[in-house]
């Protein structure tokens, strides 16, 4: 099990094409940790905005009476992939990992695989 800081560093170094990564509390929209980003990607704003995405999907699943959990949510832009992965396990309830990738440099399948590994190792 690894800490938030270690998990975010792992995502930044092991996933090709990462622009930024954050661990977010979707009950408050606050980022518990961020790494990367920059003038073109404000991770604090992204954390709050993607909280709305997660909440909307959770409400929709509840209305549809779907019992399975979300594995990940993918948002595809012209030059970027945005990947949202809820943290599983009791300690991670209400948290998600947010990953922004440069579409030209990233391998989406590998990024999903690596983010799943990072999420599995995370100890909050």
pTM: 0.92
pLDDT at 83: 97
Q: Write down all domains in the chain, each with its CATH number in brackets.
A: 4-121 (3.30.450.30)
Q: Is the pLDDT of residue 90 over 70?
A: no
pLDDT in tens, 35-84: 999 888 999 999 999 999 999 999 999 999 998 889 999 999 999 999 99
The residue-averaged pLDDT of 21-32 equals 94
Q: Which residues of 65-101 are buried (b: 16+ CB within 10 A; e: fewer)?
A: eeeeeeebbeeeeeebbbbbbbbbeeebeebbbbbbb
Residue 92, pLDDT above cutoff 70: no
* Range 27-38 burial, b when 16+ CB lie within 10 A, else e: eebebebbbbbe
């Amino acid at each position: 099990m690894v800490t938030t800081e270690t998990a975010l560093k792992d995502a930044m170094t092991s996933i090709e094409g990462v622009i930024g990564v954050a661990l977010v509390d979707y009950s408050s929209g606050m980022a518990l940790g961020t790494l990367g980003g920059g003038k073109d990607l404000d991770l604090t704003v992204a954390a709050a905005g993607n909280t709305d995405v997660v909440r909307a999907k959770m409400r929709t699943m509840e209305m549809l009476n779907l019992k399975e959990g979300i594995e990940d949510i993918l948002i595809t832009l012209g030059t970027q992939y945005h990947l949202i992965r809820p943290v599983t396990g009791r300690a991670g309830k209400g948290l998600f990992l947010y990953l922004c990738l440069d579409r030209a440099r990233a391998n989406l399948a590998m990024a999903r695989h690596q983010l799943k590994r990072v999420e599995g190792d995370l100890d909050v």
